[in-house]
């Protein structure tokens, strides 16, 4: 029970309020007690001064203490005995008792001399009773302390009532605070069981609303990832099914003597296995890149020279198709940290696509130029172009702008996805611009900033940073 957050919040809230009540009550009683005692002493001193003056005036008028008892009777009526619970005693100038007495066990508290002119004519003695061991219920005892004890009881009662109310209020507040968290916990459990359509209500305080909003965003991402995973599985199954079915059919035909066991047939079967191998390798490469585990051998390279080197063989093929490959001389460029083999794979893929979609008499232009803290490679063709609705998806796995194209004509459908994965692994970005009938431009941006040192879990250096410089 105590492990639950709302219980601990309630107890903590109640404890804080109860301690606050206790401190306020203790401070209040202390201040009231001090003020009450001071006020009591001041009042008693005033009464004694007045009574002393009346007694002195009586002696002046009568020149004797005879009949002074009537004065004390009037004083006892005017001033309640709680002011002088120990009684009063009047002594004459020789110390003889004229009125009153001090009970046994009472101590003399005040002796007030009475003067007429410069002559001492008597002494007024005030006694104090011993402190009672406990407050008297019948109203006896020293009245001011009895009233203060009642005040203590009232403060204790207020503390109890305030503590109870604060505990109940704390329970309500804590439940209000923790209910959204309980809903989040239940939603997380449901999502763990596969209910990816589960969402939580964005309510409560600002922090809880932010948490709920982030949680819903996370679930949306999980849902999208799950959709992509299912699509990937379906696409992979579809792409593998065709070559496997063809391979099985040809092998069965050979076993059934429908086809002779010739080198031509074996070459066809071998080509099917190569297609499968290429598809599996492409998928593995994309998975490594997305998991940031793609093996990279980076080194400072001249991008302009590298692109010229890669594009040179394509010029021969393009010439046979009456296609012009234009490679303007690039300006002086900074070196870029690249994996030569990977970037070569990217440029080859894009040039192959451009060559495949550019008609006879067309032009392919390859440009390399500095751009926004990096180097940009632009491969532009004059082919049929890509429709606007297809552009956002051309880098997705197995996506083909022309759904009617066969695997032989369009490859595995993973080429541009691999291009994007490799470029992203270099810290760059890839995009496309196209209009139907006007051709397509593929843009690759690669950063020239110094890469950070990468380390393993034990801190050993994998790759050291290098400084970019201009050739």
How far apart (Å, rounded) are the C-alpha atoms in residues 96 and 247? 140
Domain of residue 234, residue span: 206-277
Q: Which residue has the tokens 């690759």?
A: 444
What is d(CA 380, CA 354) in angstroms, rounded to the nearest whole number?
Answer: 8
β-sheet bridge partners, residue 433: 441
Q: Are residues 302 and 263 in the same domain?
A: no
Whether residue 144 sits in one domain with residue 18 = yes
In a domain, 316, yes or no: yes
| E strand segments, 50-118 | 88-92, 97-100, 107-116
Question: Do the domain assignments include residue 241?
Answer: yes
Q: What is the dihedral of CA 341, 346, 350, 356, to 10 degrees?
A: 50
Residue 131, domain CATH? 3.30.450
Given a contact cutoff of 8 angstroms between Cβ atoms, the answer to whether 392 and 403 are in contact is: no
In angstroms, the CA 381 to CA 392 distance is: 19
How far is it, in rounded angstroms, from Cα 324 to Cα 355? Answer: 10
**Is residue 143 in some structural domain?**
yes
Residues 328 and 428 in one domain: yes
Examine the domain organization and report whether 222 and 357 are in the same domain.
no
CA 377, CA 430: separation in Å to the nearest integer? 9
Q: Would you say residue 287 lies in a domain?
A: no
Give the span between the Cα atoms of 60 and 66, in whole angstroms. 12
Give 192: exposed, middle or buried? Use CB within 10 Å, 0-12, 13-18, 19+: exposed
Predicted local confidence at residue 457, as pLDDT: 40
How far does CA 82 lie from the centroid of its chain?
A: 66
Question: In this structure, are 27 and 148 located in the same domain?
Answer: yes
Same domain, yes or no, for 418 and 383?
yes
Q: What is the pLDDT of residue 395?
A: 87
Block residue for tokens 């120990």 = 86
Residue 322's CATH number:
3.30.565.10
Name the domain boundary from 165, 197, 219: 165
Question: Considering its fold, how many domains does the chain have in total?
Answer: 3
Kindly state whether residues 226 and 312 are assigned to the same domain: no
**pLDDT computed for residue 453 by the predictor:** 37
pLDDT of residue 126: 82
DSSP 94: T
Q: Is residue 401 part of a domain?
A: yes
* pLDDT at position 440: 93
Domain co-membership, 233 together with 339: no
| Last-in-domain residue among 277, 310, 337 | 277
Q: How far apart are CA 142 and CA 139, in angstroms?
A: 9
299: β partners = 338
Indicate the DSSP class of residue 470. Answer: B
* Cα–Cα distance measured from residue 443 to residue 379, given in angstroms and rounded to the nearest whole number: 7
In a domain, 174, yes or no: no
CA proximity to 137, closest of 151, 149, 129 = 149
Name the nearest CA neighbour of 106 among 124, 132, 80.
132
Q: Is 257 within the bounds of a domain?
A: yes
> Is 381 strand, coil or helix?
strand
Are residues 447 and 345 part of one domain?
Answer: yes
- Identify whether 186 is part of a domain: no
What tens digit of pLDDT does each residue of 152-195 get?
A: 667 677 767 776 777 777 777 766 666 777 777 788 888 888 78
Domain identity same for 137 and 267: no
Of 277, 305, 339, which residue constitutes the final position of a domain?
Answer: 277
> Same domain for 342 and 454?
yes
C-alpha to C-alpha distance for 382 and 386, rounded to whole angstroms: 11
Q: Residue 364 has what pLDDT?
A: 93
In this structure, the answer to whether residues 354 and 430 fall within a common structural domain is: yes
Q: Give pairs for 130-133: CB < 8 Å, separation 24+.
A: 130/105, 130/106
Which residues of the chain have a pLDDT value below 50? 2, 134-146, 404-410, 450-471
């Amino acid at each position: 029970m105590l492990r639950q957050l709302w219980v601990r919040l309630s107890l903590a809230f109640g404890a804080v309020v109860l301690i606050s009540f206790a401190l306020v009550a203790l401070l209040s009683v202390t201040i009231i007690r001090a003020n009450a005692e001071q006020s009591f002493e001041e009042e008693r001193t005033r009464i004694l001064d007045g009574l002393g003056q009346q007694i002195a005036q009586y002696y002046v008028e009568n020149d004797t203490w005879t009949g002074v008892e009537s004065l004390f009777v009037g004083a006892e009526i005017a001033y309640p005995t709680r002011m002088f619970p120990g009684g009063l005693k009047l002594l004459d100038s020789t110390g003889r008792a004229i009125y009153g007495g001090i009970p046994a066990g009472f101590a003399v508290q005040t002796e007030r001399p009475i003067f007429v002119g410069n002559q001492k004519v008597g002494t007024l003695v005030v006694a104090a009773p011993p402190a009672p061991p406990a407050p008297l219920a019948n109203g006896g005892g020293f009245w001011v302390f009895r009233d203060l004890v009642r005040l203590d009881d009232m403060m204790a009662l207020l503390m109890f009532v305030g503590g109870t109310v604060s505990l109940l209020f704390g329970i309500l507040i804590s439940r209000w605070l923790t209910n959204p968290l309980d809903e989040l916990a239940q939603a997380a459990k449901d999502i763990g069981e596969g209910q990816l359509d589960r969402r939580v209500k964005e309510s409560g305080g600002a922090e809880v609303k932010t948490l709920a909003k982030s949680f819903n965003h996370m679930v949306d991402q999980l849902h999208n990832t799950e959709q992509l995973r299912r699509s990937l599985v379906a696409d992979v199954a579809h792409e593998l099914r065709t070559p496997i079915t063809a391979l099985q059919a040809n092998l069965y035909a050979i076993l059934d003597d429908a086809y002779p066991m010739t080198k031509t047939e074996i070459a066809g079967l071998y080509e099917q296995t190569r297609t499968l191998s290429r598809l599996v390798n492409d998928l593995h490469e994309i998975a490594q890149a997305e998991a940031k585990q793609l093996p990279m051998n980076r080194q400072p390279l001249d991008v302009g020279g590298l692109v010229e080197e890669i594009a040179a063989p394509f010029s021969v093929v393009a010439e046979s198709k009456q296609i012009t490959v234009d490679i303007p001389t690039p300006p002086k460029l900074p070196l870029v940290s690249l994996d030569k083999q990977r970037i070569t794979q990217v440029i080859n893929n894009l040039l192959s696509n451009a060559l495949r979609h550019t008609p006879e008499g067309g032009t392919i232009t390859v440009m390399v130029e500095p751009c926004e803290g990096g180097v940009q490679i632009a491969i532009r063709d004059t082919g049929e172009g890509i429709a606007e609705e297809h552009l956002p998806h051309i880098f997705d796995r197995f996506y083909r702008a022309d759904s009617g194209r066969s695997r032989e004509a369009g490859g595995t459908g993973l080429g541009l996805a691999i291009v994007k994965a490799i470029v992203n692994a270099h810290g760059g970005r890839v995009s496309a611009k196209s209009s139907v009938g006007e051709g397509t431009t593929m843009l690759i941006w690669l950063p020239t900033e110094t890469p950070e040192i990468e380390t393993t879990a034990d801190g050993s250096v994998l790759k050291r940073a290098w400084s970019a410089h201009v050739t």
